[in-house]
Structure 1
């Protein structure tokens, strides 16, 4: 594909451009399968909260390198739509603990199933385990460079 342009990137583009392209295409596929929800990339918040019950808004800010305002806006939307709920943290009454609701809990396995279907269709398989591990290590280092705490270190 040497000089052929592929969605505004070429084969000599930085790796991150290709990763971003893959992410956008995966999200487009997911959106086509779960049309009625219109969650886009916000589903990642539901997934994180589901996998890390009682996490805080600050945890999401650090995990996704987003501003507190952006995260607050997304959480408000997800709460209004019934995917998550907030409870006051008994050890720090100024903070909330986040949890998924029944609606959020129903979405997670459905989303994961569709995501696995997409991975299979594009050729990602169990043999790519080392590559996935390497990408996680890169993500960890990227967050560390930005002086962010990383909450998935134990998944490496």
Structure 2
């Protein structure tokens, strides 16, 4: 088959979406709601405008998504002046922890055939080609879920 980066990225994406969707379904969350939960979990008290800009969503989609997450009990939304501040509810916090862990669980499965040194080399090369620094705040959660 093709030996291009795009081909392998497509395989990884499909695998990640399938794996993540199955795990999130267990806590009542859709894949489309994953990144808003992660963003609010990392940025408690953020505004809808901040979330919308950070995730590159259009305003209408963002509004519908936030309303759905509030109605389903994942987020709380409090009015402060002319804007709303978003926080995770207790249910949202639990879901955030599962959502955060799923990245590390998928990595462990996908990278199992590589040595720790090879895993680090792969991550360093991917960071280099995407021109991103490795984010030290994106570390494995302290407790196993």
Q: What TM-score range do you get, normalising by the shorter chain?
A: 0.7 to 0.9
1:80-109 per-residue CA deviation (whole Å, 9 max, x = no partner) reads 1100011122xxx11111111100101122
Q: How many residue pairs end up in the alignment? A: 130
What stretches of structure 1 move > 3 A for 4+ residues in a row?
17-21, 124-129, 131-138, 153-156
CA RMSD of aligned residues (A): 2.9
Contact 1:82 1:101 in 2 (8 A): yes
Alpha-carbon distance change, 59 to 35 in structure 1, aligned in 2, over 3 angstroms: same
1:34-82 per-residue CA deviation (whole Å, 9 max, x = no partner) reads 3241411311101100100111111122112110001111101111110
If the length of structure 2 is used for normalisation, what is the TM-score? 0.73
Alpha-carbon distance change, 134 to 88 in structure 1, aligned in 2, over 3 angstroms: farther
Alpha-carbon distance change, 18 to 74 in structure 1, aligned in 2, over 3 angstroms: farther
Alignment partner, residue 44 of structure 2: 53
If the length of structure 1 is used for normalisation, what is the TM-score? 0.68
Alpha-carbon distance change, 62 to 26 in structure 1, aligned in 2, over 3 angstroms: same
1:78 equivalent among 69, 78, 82: 69
User: What secondary structure is seen at the aligned counterpart in 1 of 2:45?
Assistant: coil
The alignment status of 1:97 with 2:85, answered yes or no, reads yes
Describe how 1:76-155 pairs up with structure 2 within 5 A: 76-89=67-80, 93-123=81-111, 125-131=119-125, 133-134=127-128, 137=131
Shift of 1:155: 6.3
Alpha-carbon distance change, 67 to 120 in structure 1, aligned in 2, over 3 angstroms: same
User: What secondary structure is seen at the aligned counterpart in 2 of 1:34?
Assistant: helix
2:13 equivalent among 18, 23, 33: 23
User: What secondary structure is seen at the aligned counterpart in 1 of 2:25?
Assistant: coil
Contact 1:27 1:41 in 2 (8 A): no
Contact 1:84 1:101 in 2 (8 A): yes
Q: Which runs of 5+ in 1 are unaligned?
A: 3-10, 141-152
